[in-house]
Amino acid sequence: MYEGSMTMTSAEPTSTPPAPPVSLAALLARRDLGLRLLAGPEDVSIHWVHTSEMADPYPYLLGGELLMTAGVQLTDPAHYVERVVEAGAAALAFGVTPVYDTVPAELVEACARHGLPLVEVPPKTPFTAVARALWRLMAEARLYELRRVTEAQQSLAAAAARPAPVPAVLGALASRLGGRAVLFGADGTESVAAGREVPAEAARALRDLAGVLGPRPGRGLADPAGEAPPKGPASASGDGGGLRLAAYALGGGDGDGLTLGVATERRGPGDHTIAGVAVVLLSLLTAPHRGADAAVRDGALVRLLLGAAPAEIADTLGPGPWTVVHASGGDGTPFAAASLAAALGTPLVDAGGGSGPRDGTPVAVRLLLPAATPVTEQPGWTLGVGAPAPAAELAAADAQAARALRRAEATRTPLVRHRPGGVAALVDPDEAAAHARAVLAPLTEPLGETLRTWLSLHGSWDRTAVAMDIHRNTVRQRIARCGVLLDRDLDDPDVRMELWFALKSR
User: Would residue 220 be called left, alpha or beta, if left means φ above 0 and alpha means ψ between -120 and 50 degrees?
Assistant: left
Q: Determine the average pLDDT of the residues in 350-363.
A: 52
pLDDT for residue 449 is more than 50:
yes
The model's pLDDT over 385-432, given as tens digits with 9 standing for 90+, comes to 998 988 778 888 888 898 889 888 878 889 998 877 655 555 666 777
What pLDDT score was predicted for residue 442? Answer: 87
What pLDDT score was predicted for residue 6? Answer: 34
Q: How confident is the model at residue 14 (pLDDT cuts 50, 70, 90)?
A: very low
Cα(305)–Cα(299) distance, integer angstroms? 10
| DSSP code per residue over 385-450 | EPPPB-GGGHHHHHHHHHHHHHHHHHHT-SEEE----TGGGGS-HHHHHHHHHHHHTT--TTHHHH
Does 364 or 483 have the greater pLDDT score?
483
pLDDT for residue 362 is more than 90:
no
Q: How confident is the model at residue 187 (pLDDT cuts 50, 70, 90)?
A: confident
Q: Determine the average pLDDT of the residues in 233-249.
A: 85
pLDDT for residue 64 is more than 90:
yes
Indicate the average pLDDT of the chain. 81
What percent of the chain has a predicted confidence (pLDDT) above 90? 27
Q: Determine the average pLDDT of the residues in 17-42.
A: 89
User: Which has the minimum average pLDDT: 104-108, 153-157, 181-185, 296-300?
Assistant: 296-300
What pLDDT score was predicted for residue 361? Answer: 47
The model's pLDDT over 130-167, given as tens digits with 9 standing for 90+, comes to 999 999 998 888 888 888 888 988 888 888 877 678 88
Cα(440)–Cα(482) distance, integer angstroms? 10
Question: For the whole model, what pTM was predicted?
Answer: 0.45
pLDDT for residue 121 is more than 60:
yes
pLDDT for residue 349 is more than 50:
yes
What percent of the chain has a predicted confidence (pLDDT) above 70? 79
Cα(496)–Cα(16) distance, integer angstroms? 54
The model's pLDDT over 421-446, given as tens digits with 9 standing for 90+, comes to 655 555 666 777 888 788 888 888 88
Q: How confident is the model at residue 296 (pLDDT cuts 50, 70, 90)?
A: low
Task: Please give the helix or strand (H or E) that residue 282 lies within, else none.
Answer: helix 271-285
Cα(40)–Cα(115) distance, integer angstroms? 5
Q: Determine the average pLDDT of the residues in 83-89.
A: 96
CB 91 within 8 A of CB 120: no
